[in-house]
Amino acid sequence: MDAYHYPTAMSDANYIASAYGLPQLSTSNFVQTWVGGQPPNDTTATQWSIEGALDIQMVHAMAPNAKIYYVEAQSDSYGDLFAAVGLATSLVAQAGGGQVTMSWGGGETSGYESYFTPPATPNYVTYFASTGDTGDTSYGNPSAGYPAFSPQVMAVGGTSAVFDQNLNYVGPKTWQSGGTGVSQLFTRPSYQEFGGQRCGFNPRRSGCFRHRQSRHAGFDLQLLALWS
């Protein structure tokens, strides 16, 4: 789910699908919807459309037989974004379960945790949030922000695939300015490492041993998406 209106979402995804031999999306396996039943008025938010293109096209490439619900928030305010999270949760739960992805983030807060915790969150719904291109800089240094830091959310960061001069794959490289770090609000779970020497390089060292660390997974996100 993303913010604002992306009117050519399905046609753009189908262009890429045709180029790579993937099945076409149709109204039977792609549902574009909005809180309140009316699309957002703003169709000029290009950056959000790019995010939507990346989300839809990558999900379709990874799971070509999956049904995709593309939920658009009326704006990029937390209130509107989390209203869309609530709608996405309901749609996925009614379909029997699945994943809700959130390609956005902002300053940390605990005020929206109810969207991710029972009874608001039905069984079989999993949440993923991006740690961002530059992350949350509210505390002076990039960090993952919210909702990526939520204890109920899997935080996913971007990497780039590195190749040598002969085009041999060398390995992944984390984004230099990508959001990662230590939460200011959420307690470190027992399954996370103590922190060790890495904390010495963290500008939030005082909270390093006590709070939740992010990110939790990395994925090659240096992709080419099409939007129109």
Token digits for 86? 């609530």
pLDDT given for residue 187 in this prediction: 75
CATH number, domain of 115, equals: 3.40.50.200
Choice between 163 and 27, residue whose per-residue pLDDT is larger: 27
- pLDDT mean across residues, the chain: 80
Domains: count for the chain: 1
Q: Cα–chain-centroid distance for residue 134? A: 14
**Mean pLDDT, to the nearest integer, of 43-72?**
91
DSSP-based three-state secondary structure for 76: coil
Looking at the DSSP bridge assignments, the partners of residue 187 are 211
Q: Which of 75-84, 117-126, 164-173, 183-192 has the highest mean pLDDT?
A: 75-84
Q: Per residue in 59-70, is it b (16+ CB within 10 Å) or e — as a string?
A: bbeeeeeeebbb
Provide mean pLDDT across the span 85-105: 92
Distances (CA, A) of 193 to 50, 127, 135, 216: 35, 22, 22, 12
pLDDT, position 107: 81
pLDDT at position 133 is 65
CA atoms of 55 and 175, how far apart (whole Å): 18
Please give the Cα distance from 27 to 32 (Å, whole number).
9
Between CA 162 and CA 179 the distance in angstroms is 20
H helices within the chain, ranges in order? 9-19, 46-62, 78-94
Tell me the pTM: 0.78
Segment 105-134 mean pLDDT: 82
Q: Which helix (H) or strand (E) holds 69?
A: strand 68-73
Give the separation between CA 57 and CA 52, rounded to whole angstroms: 8
Residue 225 lies in a domain: no
The answer as to whether 226 is a domain residue is: no
pLDDT for residue 200: 46
- Total length of the chain: 228
* Token couple for 6: 């992306």
CA-to-CA distance for 133 and 10, rounded, in angstroms? 25
pLDDT in tens, 10-42: 999 999 999 999 999 999 999 999 998 889 988
User: Is residue 45 situated within a structural domain?
Assistant: yes
Q: Is residue 119 part of a domain?
A: yes
pLDDT of residue 70: 97
Q: Domain range for residue 188?
A: 2-220
φ, ψ at 86 (rounded to 5°): -60, -45
Which of 126, 133, 74 shows the shortest CA–CA distance to 101? 126
In a domain, 56, yes or no: yes
**Three-state DSSP class for 110?**
coil
Q: 151's torsion region: left (phi>0), alpha (psi -120 to 50) or beta?
A: alpha
